[in-house]
Structure 1
Amino acid sequence: MSIEQFIEAIKEEKFVEAHELLEEEWRYYKRIEEKNKAKAVQGLINGATALALYRKKRPDAYKRVWDVFKKYNYLLKELDSNEKYYEASNLLELKNKSVVN
């Protein structure tokens, strides 16, 4: 399951790789017009991307992309097995505190 792989990649601070792991799921939800589910997954993707951008010394881009993660976080409730998605979101928040601060 891609969300479990995403969580492992985030734990290992492989933020670019994590981003890629949810791309197919995001495209699937867009294709079947599940807008809220697509945005929820997009938010997680953006959380990982933001941390990668910060590491690449692009703080302005980090801020814009992190804000998208925060904006769509409330939609995680729309996803099946949402406890794993909440786990991913919480992990991104923890990594954000350790990477950015």
Structure 2
Amino acid sequence: MKIDYNIFNQKTAIDRFIFAIKNGYFVEAHELLEDDWNYYKKQGEINKALVLKGLINGATALALFHIKKKEEGHKKVWLAFEKYIPLLEEVDFEEKEKYYEAKEFLIKLNKMI
């Protein structure tokens, strides 16, 4: 799949992540939150890191289903999304509504499977 370079015009990692999942770039989306995930882990902000891990796993699960055609892998990885995403209620992100948007869009895409 050829990437749409408009992804790099997005302001923040979560903006780029949303752009990627909305355009079917699930593999790339997985990579876009990695730096923030590692940052929060190193800062000891474990719940924030786990929320990002959930979003990353949501994108990975969709990549496994749509790109790799691995239904069982999708199911296993989607469980990690479901495990960690409820922590979004407990953390404080700048522009938190974008994290909710990403969550809801991943859920919508997964329901279409």
Whether the TM-score (by the shorter chain) exceeds 0.5 is yes
Residue ranges of structure 1 left out of the alignment (5+ in a row): none
2:84 pairs with 58, 66, 72, which one?
Answer: 72
**Cα distance in 1 for residues equivalent to 2:33 and 2:48:** 12
Match for 1:82: what amino acid? K
Q: What's the TM-score once normalised by structure 1's chain length? A: 0.93
Structure 1 position 50 matched with structure 2 position 37? no
* Per-residue deviation, 1:13: 0.8
Tell me which residue corresponds to 2:75: 63
**Cα distance in 2 for residues equivalent to 1:73 and 1:95:** 15
Q: Percent identity of the aligned residues? A: 54
Residue ranges of structure 2 left out of the alignment (5+ in a row): 1-11
Runs of 4+ in 1 over 3 A off after TM superposition: none
Structure 1 position 85 matched with structure 2 position 109? no
* Per-residue deviation, 1:70: 0.7
* Per-residue deviation, 1:97: 2.1
Q: What's the TM-score once normalised by structure 2's chain length? A: 0.84
**Cα distance in 1 for residues equivalent to 2:73 and 2:92:** 27
| Paired residue total | 99
Structure with bigger RCO (C-alpha 8 Å, 6+ apart): 1
Greater shift, 70-79 or 58-67, is seen at 70-79
